Amino acid sequence: MKILHFSLKSALDEYEARTGLRLGYDELSDLTEVSVDTLKSIATRSKYNVTFQTVSVICNALNVNPLNHLEWIDDHN
């Protein structure tokens, strides 16, 4: 089975490539009001169940297209 995964790293990389600015979790948390702990979980846990609302908030803050940062990955129970 496959699961849908949001790659926060690739979204942050796209933002950095476009702006020249590297955002840390603290800065992104300030921009989005998503907690640092949640951002870390999204970034490090491939099976983290991030909501589309959170993906939307992050992508709006970074001005990136969420479709570019969603991927199907194998779910290895």
Print the domain residue range for 47: 2-69
The pairs formed by 45-51 with CB atoms below 8 angstroms and a separation of 24 or more are 46/3, 46/5, 46/73, 47/3, 47/75, 50/6
Q: What is the CATH number of the domain that holds 10?
A: 1.10.260.40
Total structural domains within the chain: 1
* pLDDT tens-digit profile, the chain (77 residues): 888 899 999 999 999 999 999 999 999 999 999 999 999 999 999 889 899 999 999 999 999 999 999 998 887 75
* Predicted local distance difference test score (pLDDT) of residue 77: 58
Instruction: Confirm whether pTM is higher than 0.85.
Output: yes
As a whole number of angstroms, the distance between CA 72 and CA 22 comes to 26
pLDDT at 1: 84
pLDDT at residue 74, rounded to an integer? 84
